[in-house]
Amino acid sequence: MNFDFSPEQLAFVEEVRAFLDANDDPDVFDVTRENMAQIVDTPKRRAFMAKLGEKGWLGITWPVEYGGSDGEGVYEYLLNEELAGRGGPQIGKGVGIVGKTIIHEASDDMKAEFLPKILKNEIEFAVGYSEPNAGSDAASMKLKAERHTKDGVDGWLLNGQKTWTTSAHFAEWYWLGTRTDPNNKHHGITLMLVPLDQPGVTINGIWTMGDERTNEVFIDNVFVPDAYVVGEVNHGFQYISQALDLERFTMFTFSPMRQRLDVLTDYVRETMRDGEPLKDDPVIRQRLARLHTEAEVAKVMGLKVVAESMKGEAANKAGGHVPPPTVESSEYKLFATEFSQRLANASMDIGGPGSQLRVKTPDAPMEGRAESTYRYTVIDTIGGGASEIQRNIIDRRGLGLPKNF
């Protein structure tokens, strides 16, 4: 398998880097926010993403008829990696999970309403799958949707609760999984688009150990017209499953892991301990060598997802129907996030007691980066489906093992 990028792809990377240099702003780019740096949660970050939209980069892989460039998925990968490497917002939910599902499954009216706004970054979305009793097992969601008519308009009346909705406090629209058939676990879920600023929606903040806000959301007698049902009723779990393959890959970009490894490597290279260079300690050298090896493995596994996705894109454009690389996405997500935690642990161990000082402390080892990495990576193996879920997917779909293995 050839993982070399073409001259055109490398030229695109240089164009992106020049753009990022020209738009550098500490209020937009912050590597110490780790994976949470990807969200578009401030006016400055929104303005920056709007500039990406003006460049035509938000819809770089979308079909031309929907305002995109019909480009190969590798360009989206390269763009996201460059953004992530600087600690900047990334092309996530709107362009990927929401936009691509709308393109493939939604009505023409929904496409006309939402796709142009997504390309201009005029709206932000929150994703509502998880519930207090339905975390990684999205098929267990229970938020009730019942047929209802309001002012002569047919639709659904929603009641229930979601949790761990990261963007709910600043997004305009809720990409919401609802239970429309209580008697069918996997074929009784429907996706809907719900405005977050209407009566009946209550958003309460939950602060994480990474100093970031997520939310619990209560839905009380909220009416959703049929026009805002995404695709077919009771087919939502299938749409969610396909979108999660994208989320598992794009949520956990490789560049931040590489950047954190470079910080640790520079620290080891430059630090003296007990009068001896830390880099000459054989135990430290062995640990760094292993981390660098695992980093290369994670990088190649990510590139494999890109390669398999591009094969599917080519086949689908030729009239075929190739599903997303589910197994490869789960393999990457599992390995990369657990590697990220091993890297965080190593940074704390090698930095010693001073590594417990908070991030951006000038006198701390690695300026406190180790402790922020440690706190943030706690959630890495949970978001987008916990490691146990990824192992189940690999077991069943990759190895063909029985469900209860």
Q: Using one digit for the tens of pLDDT, what is the confidence trace for 346-387? A: 999 999 999 999 999 999 999 999 999 999 888 888 877 888
First-to-last CA distance in the chain? 32
In whole numbers, what is the pLDDT of the chain averaged over residues? 91
Asked if residue 306 lies in contact with residue 74, where contact means CB atoms within 8 angstroms, the answer is: yes
Query: The domain at 252-398 falls in which architecture?
Result: Up-down Bundle (1.20)
Please count the helices (runs of H) and the strands (runs of E) in the chain. Answer: 11, 10
Which of 278, 286, 290 is CA-nearest to residue 342? 290
CATH class of 127-234: mainly beta
Residue 58 has pLDDT above 70, yes or no: yes
CA angle (111, 112, 116) in 5-degree steps: 95
User: 7-91 has which fold?
Assistant: Butyryl-Coa Dehydrogenase, subunit A; domain 1 (1.10.540)
How many CB atoms are located within 10 Å of the residue 272 CB?
10
Integer Cα distance of 273 and 45 in angstroms? 41
How much of the chain, in percent, has pLDDT values that exceed 90?
A: 73
Q: Using one digit for the tens of pLDDT, what is the confidence trace for 331-342? A: 999 999 999 999
In the chain, what are the domain boundaries?
7-91, 127-234, 252-398
Of the pLDDT bands very low, low, confident and very high (cuts 50, 70, 90), residue 294 is very high
